[in-house]
A and B are shown apart, each in its own frame.
Chain A
Amino acid sequence: MLTSVWRWLTDGGHWQGETGITHRLLEHLQYSGESLLIAALIALPIGALIGHTGKGKWIIAVANAFRAIPSLGLLFVVAMWFVSRLTGDSAYLVPTIIVLVILAIPPLLAGAYSGVSEVDPAARDAAYGMGMSGRQVLANVEVPCALPLIFSGVRSAALQIIATATIAAAISVGGLGRYLIDGLANSDYAQMAGGAILVTALALLVDGVLAVIQQLTVPGGLRTTSVSRRKQRAAAAAVESAHAA
């Protein structure tokens, strides 16, 4: 069983052309990336604003209720509505992206909101005390302090989108889901399992890339990883030894 899956994955012919793995991977990344971008543009500013002002917390609650919507069912409903209103591929692409955006908004919103609202009040008060305006406090203090939680929202949204984008294949859109749907229809186990492995690998890879970006962008003082702690300790030791000398 594992050997047939391995053979499917390593067959060069399976990686080429319109239905090849390379093309399907790119398609999958494209829908996922577009959906994540749109969802972030909607959810992150709203979440940060709710966290900053403390007003409109009900929006978070409503968005969280959206998590209960079954994506596949929503996809069919949205696709049925669009099929007679859009032409060509967009009749299936637009519903896919709408469903993925709706899926990604709750974790993004929650991350931005809790990140901003849980900023240490002392830091916020100090910023106001320095004469910063509300907008400056949000942009220069609260959002940078909230970055770790914002990133955790982005990462969980990205994982969910990549895993769920497979359902787009049910309405004829490309991406890695094709291997699951076509493999099942043709009773081709190696293709199905290979597709599932590829989706998993892609999700982990994207999560890894986002983790690296997080490392590079989050201010050093907020990092909680062992690497940064080790660096801090090393820095402290260096300072001490300099004093001693």
Chain B
Amino acid sequence: MKRTLSATALGIAAALALAACGGGSSNPLSTGGGSASGGGVPSGSAKAGTIRVGAANFPESQLIAEIYAAALNAKGIKATTGDPIGAREVYLKALQQGSIDLVPEYAYSLLTFYNPSASQTEPDAVRSALTKKLPSGDIVLDSAPAEDSNTVTVTKETAAKWKLKTIGDLAKHSKEVTFAAPAEFQSREQGLKGLKKKYNLVPKSFRALQGTAIVQALKNDQAQAANIFTTDPSIKADGFVILKDPKHVFGSDNVVPLIRKAKASTKVQTVINAVQAKLTTDKLAAMDKKVQVDHKDASSVAKQFISSNGLG
């Protein structure tokens, strides 16, 4: 009897503790990028004026974040970076909540996040549509010439075997395709949703992986098609074929800095826009290779870019 009583008491205590945790908000993930992202939020929150540069959980985003931070620091504006935060769905919440101030973004991907039915494909149209959709507290600075789009990519062998040129060609083989991509690709318009709508491509199965594991899966035939960025060094190194996308599931993804208005002083804007002007697709791809293939430290690659382009 005594044991039953103490068990009941413990149960009630646990229920109360749970209820207490849930009291504050309807969704813990939306209250703090900090809690959602673990250690991903850059330090320096206490000091006013410090720009905290966040990054998505793939190497190029972390590299561009390092470049922004290095450029700002070189001009005497204190900027910090942290560990990568996560997918767009997660780091945009961190920006809203104010635990980061600046994050490298991609124009079309960001536009389709706010407006899944966006039909603009040209860089200028994408940009102007994007500026209208942004939350009131955020602005985007200048677009860089550098473009890094999402793709549907296959190996040379698969392309030859199935005679593939476009994503539409791949759709005919849907039942034989295992698709490798980050987990969020499943529920994105620039992902399985859009591929189904526009090409009727519904892969037999989906393999949720991250970073180089996606490239490995494609290379070793654990996946027959994959979502790989156009600047990914593996495309050249492994001879992958990017399938053409005539119906524009993936749009013009120029690199744009997304920043909280409150932190976007004229000086900050000038510094970041100067970086943007120098950031071309070739330079970005070359730096991606240094980081992902040669395993150079992203912050030293970033500093090199700043000094060799007269930005520091």
Contacts and interface: CB of A to CB of B under 8 A. Distances in A.
A is bound by B: yes
25 contacts: A1-B26, A1-B27, A1-B28, A2-B19, A18-B205, A80-B216, A83-B216, A83-B222, A87-B221, A88-B222, A92-B207, A92-B222, A170-B210, A172-B209, A181-B183, A182-B208, A185-B86, A185-B87, A185-B90, A186-B89, A186-B184, A186-B187, A187-B36, A187-B93, A189-B30
Contact of B222 (A91, A181, A182, A186): A91
A184 B216 contact: no
Interface residues of B, number: 33
A46 interface: no
B174 to A, nearest CB: 15
Contacts of A89: 222
A182 B216 contact: no
Interface in A103-119: none
B7 interface: no
Interface in A20-35: none
A79 B27 CA distance: 34
Nearest to A80: B216
Interface of A: 1-2, 4, 18, 79-80, 83-84, 87-89, 91-92, 169-172, 178, 181-182, 184-187, 189, 192
Contact of A83 (B27, B182, B220): B220
B22 interface: yes
B22 A185 contact: no
Contacts of B183: 181-182, 184-186
Contacts of A88: 221-222
B228 interface: no
Contacts of B213: 79, 83, 171-172
Contacts of B220: 83-84, 87, 91
Given A1-B22, A79-B213, A80-B216, 16 more contacts: A2-B18, A84-B219, A88-B222, A92-B207, A171-B213, A172-B180, A172-B207, A172-B208, A172-B209, A172-B217, A181-B208, A184-B36, A185-B86, A185-B89, A187-B30, A187-B87
Nearest to B223: A172
B119 interface: no
A2 B27 CA distance: 9
A4 B222 contact: no
Contacts of A80: 216
Nearest to B28: A189
A135 B62 CA distance: 62
A1 B25 contact: yes
A184 B222 contact: no
Contacts of A84: 216, 219-220
Output the residue of B210, B217, B220 with the most chain A CB within 10 A: B220
A172 B26 CA distance: 30
B186 interface: yes
Contacts of B25: 1
B293 interface: no
B93 A182 contact: no
A18 B210 CA distance: 21
A-B interface, 7 closest residue pairs, ranked by CB to CB distance from nearest: A185-B183, A187-B89, A172-B207, A185-B184, A1-B22, A189-B29, A182-B183
